[in-house]
Amino acid sequence: MKHLFFFLLMGVASVVLKAQSAKTTNTFNQAQLTDVVLKEQYIQLSTGVKLEYVEKGNTKGAPVIFLHGISDSWHSFEKILPLLPESMHAFSVTHRGHGNSSKPVSGYHPKDFAADIAAFIQQKKLGSAFIVGHSMSGIIAQQFALDYPQLLKGVVIVASDPAIKRNPGMPEFYSEVEKMQTAVERSFMVDFQKATLNKPIDSAYFNLLVDESMKMPVIAFKAAFKGLVDVDYVAELKNIKTPVLILWGDADAFFHSGGQELLKKNISHAKYITYKGTGHAIHWEEPLKFAADITEFVNSIRK
């Protein structure tokens, strides 16, 4: 499986080595996490799946739904939710096929993931919500904005792309993913998660993220990846009228500047922030700044 990983990351080995060799640190303010308890809950959706989620904040506050990347879970935003103001009603949801959510044999196109979140919003009676999508979920967020604008207050696209099949090497990598037959090896997931980083993070938290990634069946990994490769939103981005914030780290080893230019060009009203020297998982590397940027965006729309 390691050959597959290195195929994906050709040309970015230095990023991996930096993450492997650096000492782990806590990059967030521990004092801000005092007495914050995130209780795992489950909801059976009309789309036929049961999703795991956590929530925090005033139930009368602005709903903000955080959505993770491929193989991750709600834990991807475990360090972010405690940093958000109580006035924000924040959710972190685990997608179908991931974590402890249902794992159906099919239904892994971005339209399926977006339909789950629409059902979540409706069944929780949230009215409309902000969607924050990282990586894979940045693509799902674009799909959601196109399919369910009536349920959307604003969207944050984090370290993502409108058409990953345009990325150099991605079609070839997908052909390798298609060959995967057995369960994904832990060594692959360790390397995969390390490659999302350009700065070190807490080692215990990193191991938790790997543990969560190992819960994803290979059939779901392959199907979800196929869905990401199949879509190309470039021609449709102009139809997104809701407020948009785009966040990207300039040391991202997965989604490069070309995709960011497509997003900026075709969503002309979007606000764009670059995280200097930060990798693909900007919310793991820079949680304080990430939480502040999300809070500022949400508050600017609520005014």
Residue 23: predicted pLDDT = 34
What phi and psi, each to the nearest 5 degrees, are found at residue 272? -125, 130
Rounded to two decimals, what is the model's pTM? Answer: 0.91
- Percentage above 90 pLDDT, the chain: 79
Fold of the CATH domain 2-24+44-192+204-302: Rossmann fold (3.40.50)
- Integer CA distances (angstroms), 247 to 8, 54, 291, in order: 22, 23, 12
Would you list the domain boundaries of the chain? 2-24+44-192+204-302
Say if residue 272's pLDDT is above 90.
yes
User: How far is it, in rounded angstroms, from Cα 73 to Cα 53?
Assistant: 9
Residue 180: predicted pLDDT = 83
Over residues 118-127, the mean pLDDT reads 98
* pLDDT band at 2; cut points 50, 70, 90: very low
Residue 287: predicted pLDDT = 98
* pLDDT band at 37; cut points 50, 70, 90: confident
* pLDDT band at 302; cut points 50, 70, 90: confident
- Integer CA distances (angstroms), 39 to 74, 111, 212, 282, in order: 11, 28, 16, 24
Residue 35: predicted pLDDT = 64
CA-based torsion, 11, 15, 18, 20: positive or negative: negative
Residue 12: predicted pLDDT = 39
Residue 10: predicted pLDDT = 42
